[in-house]
Chains A and B, each alone.
Chain A
Amino acid sequence: MTTTQPLLGAPTARLEAREKVTGAARYATDHPTDRTAYAWPVPATVVRGEITSIDTTAALADPAVLAVLTHQNAPRLHETDDPNLAVLQSPHVAHRGQFVALAVATSLESARAAAEAIRVTYRTEPHDVVLTPDHPGLYKPDEVNAGLPTDREHGDFDTAYANAPVRIDAVYETPALHNHPLEPHAATALWDGDDLTVYDSNQDSSGVQRTLAQLFGLANGKVHVVNEHVGGGFGAKGTARPPVVLAAMAARTVRRPVKLALPRNQLAAVTGYRAPTIQRIRIGADPEGHIEALAHEAITQSSTITEFVEQAAAPSRTMYNAPHSRSTHRVAQLDVPTPSWMRAPGECPGMFALESAMDELALACGVDPIELRTRNEPAVEPDSGLPFSSRHLVECLREGACRFGWHDRDARIGGRREGRLLIGSGVAASTFPALVMPSQAEAHAAADGSYEVRVSASDIGTGARTVLTQIAADTLGVPLDSVRVRVGSSDLPPASVAGGSSGTASWGWPVHKACTELRQRLAERGYAVPEQGITVAADIAQDIDEREDLARHAFGAQFAEVQVDPATGETRVRRLLGVFAAGRILNSRTARSQFIGGMTMGLGMALLEGSTMDPAFGDYAERDLAAYHVAACADVPEIDVHWIEEEDPHLNPMGSKGIGEIGIVGTAAAIANAVHHATGVRVRALPIHPDVLVARLADQPGPP
């Protein structure tokens, strides 16, 4: 029972790779069903008001149409803690795009036509959809996303800031950003008596199971959620979303399997998004750049349905030493769709602001940006006062500087030209908490010498299935191919969401624990396995509680080189480099892809992505992939990724930190800082669109 190759850290290819390149991998609406019906939702065409009538006559005239569900006839749902899921339960409309009806037919074509033929009339009310820094509805929430405190204060910020020789005071804005996973939210729902099976595109089969059970008044065991392959999520599929609820309601009504794949142009309104932020940062420092006072005050929005508060000021509580500090969040609940998680909520927009401000401070002090960050490296986590379990930000910055050739650059603003192009480079730090959530797993040794490990993990493209197999085989001390890891079903031992970069830690830990005990029990028996096999179950809830209080975070440094065409205002990224310290890297191949993927999305955030609120229409104007620009192949340069070998015994048995989100944190700031270096234009509101830059360049003194 020995292996020669180390399994942890190996560049093992994704175990489902073959299925994915041959089209055999089945996603939510790829499962064959008999007598399939198709559902097509109808979004509200007003922003705020009440449905006064719904005329379904024309829709029902087509014999292929099986039903039209509305708030008048849809099955009643039980309440959950997410009121966004109370679909078709009331005539009230809280935002444009909220579902008001559902057409169900024996063909996709008839369902779509029926949805378009449904006539809904409304009594409308005035709406309020625009977030402003002085919005009268802004208030202090009880807490912000991830259960973090709303405000934190240390020392006397106001006095320290007023007395500081160097002061930065700037407002940074990030627009609403939409996740737009390539697979739209989709579900196939089947009822068998009181048993509900859904093939659903989500990041948490256990969580969606519990939610559906609650909504339909069923025991958890009656609901089976399968998410074997998920076409991306980036947070938008972290909890149950309305489509799966509609599919289950429709299937119960028409007594057939129902497929519902959300049309792309309906996604933006009902599946969550990153809320826009307005962030004021003030830094007071001495002339050498040592920070005396730091305030990070974030304003954001939520819907009138639920309060979700993007924790944008949170990273300022971790990043830099600041004896006098303040971080606050205020939110206004508007008549807008409900925001939710999008890759690195909090850190992603928050670090755009903080790392842009650090660049401004570096320039104001005449200190190199890397040296400035090094000078403000804290001994303990500034807000909590806790020691870091490990922190290698400075090492990432230094390693990156060497690899990027940072110190060879001409630090002067606008100092480098190639023809008419202005060239610049920028740096920013990355951070993301190393989280872990309670999960369970089982390990089974079969009489034939094979092993099966069960955990209701969700592999949304992260490589979870593969890395869990590596962890299991490594722990058992057996070859990779003798272990089968089953994930992607709520029928497996309950596990946590594929979110918060916590999957590998949360699922790998109980897998490790179960396999460790199984190996021990096998050894005690001289490796004789009875015919029925041996099964060991593990739960890490208590192990998590017993951990020492420490500040656990991953860190990184990102470097960008850009070119700006002053004639058109077009920015192109020429190269990106990321160096990360994220504990032990368990699969070098999939980890590299995750980092690159995050940085690619960060590039999109910097230059392309952004949803625009139309005050009259009352919703975001960008509703599909032609209007909402995600990075395409031609936008993305060579991206170089490295990591520091980081030994951290305070995390989990594997020594890993999450890597799914940190890649997007800091990219936009590195690019914006590079644009400033190239042009002298400081863009504090993303994205850096050509029209913004060309106008600002025209206002610059002197050439070009």
Chain B
Amino acid sequence: MGAMTAVTLDINGERFSRELDNRTTLLDLLREHAHLSGAKKGCDHGQCGACTVLLDGHRVNSCLLLAVAMDGTEITTIEGLAEGDTLHPLQQAFVDHDAFQCGFCTPGQICSAVGAIAEARAGWPSAVTAEDAPEGPVELTVPEVRERMSGNLCRCGAYVNIVSAVREVAR
């Protein structure tokens, strides 16, 4: 039994409080304690991106964060993106473009795409953004989407369709 710490955070708009083993990751908090199994554990080492969620609006690998350090934060998972029966535009675009096969990386891909689009709109450059690019939103060209989505592996090889789906929403 490890040392325990109380943590309170907001998950998909709902308050979640729990006394947790200090070794618990944010991913395991979501999956094993909050019973939100949408975020997936593909590697537990920040290498695959399947556990991507939004932390205060920014995409993060939830397997690399300790839950007790998340006190007071707002987390959005794949379960929190749709508005009732209406899918988030990225969820709908992933369906329309067949941007997945097995679906295991999909929650992470979609959360990552939400974050990536926000980052581009906020003017964050990527490794392929021209050095002399003007300030302001970055256009999500095909190379930009490929670069920005490269933290999320898809072993089924749905990248071609993922890029189309993300570009459709980013436009």
B122 at the interface (CB under 8 A from A): no
Residues in B neighbouring A630, C-beta threshold 8 A: 153, 155
Contact A633 B159 (CB under 8 A): yes
Q: Is the CB of A110 within 8 A of B87?
A: no
B-side interface size class: 35 or more
Q: Is B6 an interface residue (CB 8 A)?
A: no
What's the least CB distance linking A226 to chain B, in Å?
A: 15
Assuming A27-B104, A634-B150, is B79 touching A22 (CB within 8 A)? yes
- Asked if A162 is at the interface of the complex by the 8 Å CB criterion, the answer is no
Of B21-29, B54-62, B132-140, the stretch lying at the interface with chain A is B21-29
Minimum CB–CB distance for A6 against chain B, Å = 19
Q: Is B170 an interface residue (CB 8 A)?
A: no
How many Å from the CB of B127 to the closest CB on chain A?
9
- A residues 261-288 near B (Cβ < 8 Å) are 261, 263-265
CB <8 Å contact, A632 and B35 = no
**In the complex, which residues of chain A have a beta carbon less than 8 angstroms from the beta carbon of B35?**
32
Which residue in A21, A108, A636 is a CB contact (below 8 Å) of B157? A636
- Among candidates A264, A461, A593, residue contacting B43 with C-beta atoms closer than 8 Å: A264
CA distance A13 to B99 in the complex (A): 11
* Shortest CB distance B41–A (Å): 6
Chain B residues in 8 Å Cβ range of A63: 1
A109-B21 contact, Cβ under 8 Å, with A14-B98, A181-B155: yes
Check A263–B44 contact: CB distance below 8 A.
yes
Q: Does A508 contact B (CB under 8 A)?
A: no
Query: Contact: A182 with B50, CB < 8 Å?
Result: yes
Interface string of A586-610 (1 = CB under 8 A from B): 0001101110111111000000000
With A22-B91, A625-B47, A633-B149: A183-B102 Cβ-Cβ less than 8 Å: yes
Q: How far is the CA of A500 from the CA of B40 in the complex (A)?
A: 28
| Most interface-central of A109, A460, A589 (chain B CB within 10 A) | A109
Contact B110 A21 (CB under 8 A): yes
B48 touches A23 (CB 8 A): no
Closest residue of A by beta carbon distance from B41: A261
Across the interface, do A182 and B82 meet the contact criterion of CB distance under 8 Å? no
Interface code A164-189, partner B: CB below 8 Å = 1, 0 otherwise?
00000000000000011111100000
B13 contacts the other chain (CB 8 A): no
Residues of A within 8 A of B45 (CB): 264-265, 624-626
Q: A107-B21, A596-B160, A633-B162 are in contact. Are A27 and B150 (CB under 8 A)?
A: no
The residue that A594 contacts in the complex, of B32, B81, B101, with Cβ under 8 A, is: B101
B77 CB contacts on chain A under 8 angstroms? 23
A263 partner residues in chain B, CB cutoff 8 A: 44
CA distance A415 to B127 in the complex (A): 31
**How far is the CB of B5 from the nearest CB of chain A, in Å?**
13
Q: Does B37 contact A (CB under 8 A)?
A: yes
The smallest C-beta distance from A444 to any residue of chain B, in angstroms, reads 27
Task: Please give, as numbers and ranges, the residues of chain B lying within 8 Å of A230 by CB-CB distance.
Answer: 102
Instruction: Let me know if A24 is at the binding interface, CB within 8 A.
Output: yes
Residues of B within 8 A of A14 (CB): 95, 98
A97: CB under 8 A from chain B? no
Q: Are B98 and A182 in contact (CB under 8 A)?
A: no
Residue in A26, A112, A625 whose Cβ sees the most chain B Cβ within 10 Å? A625
The B44-87 residues at the A interface (CB cut-off 8 A) are: 44-45, 47-48, 50, 77-79, 81-82, 87
Asked if B101 and A461 make an inter-chain contact with CB atoms under 8 angstroms apart, the answer reads yes
If A183-B42, A460-B102, A625-B48 touch, does A22 touch B87 (CB 8 Å cutoff)?
yes
Contact across chains for B163 and A23 when beta carbons are under 8 A apart: no
Question: Do residues A18 and B157 form an inter-chain contact, with CB atoms below 8 A?
Answer: no
- A109 & B101 in contact (Cβ 8 Å cutoff): no
- Are B41 and A597 in contact, CB atoms less than 8 angstroms apart? no
* Residue A543 at the chain B interface, CB threshold 8 Å: no
How far, in Å, is B144 (CB) from chain A's closest CB?
10
B105 contacts A by Cβ under 8 Å = yes
Residues in A with CB closer than 8 Å to B157 are: 596-601, 631, 636
**Is B1 touching A639 in the complex (CB atoms < 8 A)?**
no
> What residues of chain A lie closer than 8 Å to B79, measured between beta carbons?
22-24
Please indicate which of the listed interface residues B39, B95, B103, B106 has the most CB atoms of chain A within 10 Å of its own CB: B103
Q: Does A54 contact B (CB under 8 A)?
A: no
* B154: Cβ under 8 A from any A Cβ: yes
Contact yes or no, B47 A229, CB < 8 A: no
Residues from chain B with Cβ under 8 Å of A590 in the complex: 98, 101
Q: Are A23 and B104 in contact (CB under 8 A)?
A: no
CB pair A597–B101 under 8 Å, yes or no, is yes
In the complex, what's the smallest C-beta–C-beta distance from A10 to chain B, in angstroms? 13
Contact of B38 among A22, A62, A110, A181 (CB under 8 A): A22
On whether the beta carbons of B110 and A26 are closer than 8 Å, the reply is: no
Which 9 A-B pairs give the minimum distances between C-beta atoms?
A23-B38, A600-B157, A231-B104, A461-B102, A20-B103, A461-B101, A597-B157, A23-B78, A30-B37
Which residues of A approach B to under 8 Å, CB–CB? Answer: 13-14, 16-27, 29-30, 32, 36, 62-64, 107-110, 112-113, 179-184, 229-232, 234, 261, 263-265, 460-463, 589-590, 592-594, 596-601, 624-626, 630-636, 638-639
Listed A/B pairs (17) with beta-carbon separation below 8 Å:
A21-B78, A21-B94, A21-B100, A21-B103, A22-B79, A113-B2, A181-B102, A264-B45, A461-B103, A590-B98, A593-B98, A593-B101, A594-B101, A596-B161, A601-B157, A626-B45, A633-B146
B residues engaging A (CB < 8 A)? 1-2, 21, 23-24, 28, 31-32, 35-45, 47-48, 50, 77-79, 81-82, 87, 91-92, 94-96, 98, 100-107, 110, 143, 145-147, 149-163
